[in-house]
Structure 1
Amino acid sequence: MRLLLTSDTHVPARAERLPEELLGAVGEADVVIHAGDWTDEATLDLLQARARRLIAVYGNNDGPALRRRLPEIAHAELGGLRFAVVHETGPAAGREKRCAARFPDTDVLVFGHSHIPWDSTAATGLRLLNPGSPTDRRRQPHHTWLTLTVADGALSDVVLHRLTV
């Protein structure tokens, strides 16, 4: 199963639309996971129309309309792994320990908020993944998103994609 992870799209505040390269990859994924901060319903509608399956949450910049349509935390079992999706996990210091305590029955936690790509594993085995942002790189050198493969209870082919915008 091929997954695409994105977050912090901030359309139209940071970009007029999602990058075409990302949209093309959405069509190739079995599941798209968005970890919040959409800022507009049109982007949610677009990904719902293009993705085979969309798992998504709202972020701190998402208003009442998006909060009515999306949960704060989403859970899904994919390829034998238990996923959770949340927008914010707090400061980087102590993140693994804090998230492992908050999500004890989770194998993979997808989060956003920082716009900084992140891939680490807690002492409990919880894998933490942040895809960065495809539209607002902030202090990062590139706009980014992640793809990965899930099969038989294992992650593989975790790739951070860098946009050339």
Structure 2
Amino acid sequence: MPLRLLLVSDTHVPKRARELPAQVWDAVESADVVFHAGDWVNPELLDRFEQRSRQLVAVYGNNDGPEIRRRLPERQYVVLEGVRFAVVHETGPAKGRNERAEALFPESDVLVFGHSHIPWDATSPGALRLLNPGSPTDRRRQPFCTYMTATVDGGILGHVQLEVVRKQ
């Protein structure tokens, strides 16, 4: 049975949105593992993710204050079904990102990151998969707010899907 993954970042509650969309909460509750790549802003949102997630793999972002930084690391690593994941908030500019990330995370198969609010799905020359789910609450220059879902089964990262947040 494949593991169902949810990838989310840059929730910015309550600064960019008063609440996380119900669609995203439904995805949190149906996922086996939830990744959050930082910029929570509110510690209560972290509490709610911890309560509602089966397994949470999370880091702090540049907009997170001392309480969140006390509770979460800057980088997080986890192995799921043989796939080695790393999570970090920032990876720097888009130019050179794939090669830079490959050098910074040489022992990882997948890097989940955030910060830009711009979805990213790319593979580095050395086969590191880089995934940025965008933001479910602040689309910035994007047409929609987004997050990602994926699966892991038998040591393989399965179908990665960019999900669009529907208007509530």
TM range (shorter): over 0.9
Residue 16 of structure 2 aligns with which residue? Answer: 14
1:134-153 deviations in whole A, cap 9, x for unaligned?
Answer: 00000100000000000111
Residue 58 of structure 2 aligns with which residue? Answer: 56
2:27 to 9, 25, 28: 25
Letter in 2 for 1:163: V
Gaps of 5+ in 1: none
Residue 38 of structure 1 aligns with which residue? Answer: 40
Tell me how far apart the structure 1 counterparts of residues 99 and 139 of structure 2 sit (CA, whole Å).
26
1:115 to 93, 117, 124: 117
Once superposed, which parts of structure 1, at least 4 consecutive aligned residues long, lie more than 2 Å away?
none
Tell me how far apart the structure 2 counterparts of residues 38 and 81 of structure 1 sit (CA, whole Å).
26
Tell me how far apart the structure 1 counterparts of residues 98 and 161 of structure 2 sit (CA, whole Å).
21
Q: Where does 1:66-85 land on structure 2 (aligned, <5 Å)?
A: 66-85=68-87
TM superposition score normalised by structure 2: 0.97
Residue 146 of structure 2 aligns with which residue? Answer: 144
Tell me how far apart the structure 2 counterparts of residues 153 and 119 of structure 1 sit (CA, whole Å).
19
Q: Root-mean-square deviation (CA), in Å?
A: 0.5
Secondary structure of the corresponding residue to residue 139 of structure 2: coil
1:82-116 deviations in whole A, cap 9, x for unaligned?
Answer: 00000000000000000000000000000000000
Identity percentage over the alignment?
Answer: 62
1:52-87 deviations in whole A, cap 9, x for unaligned?
Answer: 000000000000010000000000001210000000
Letter in 1 for 2:126: T
**CA displacement at 1:157 relative to structure 2:** 1.6
Aligned residues: 165
Letter in 2 for 1:162: V
2:126 to 124, 127, 135: 124
Gaps of 5+ in 2: none
Residue 96 of structure 2 aligns with which residue? Answer: 94
**CA displacement at 1:160 relative to structure 2:** 0.6
Tell me how far apart the structure 2 counterparts of residues 42 and 151 of structure 1 sit (CA, whole Å).
32
TM superposition score normalised by structure 1: 0.99
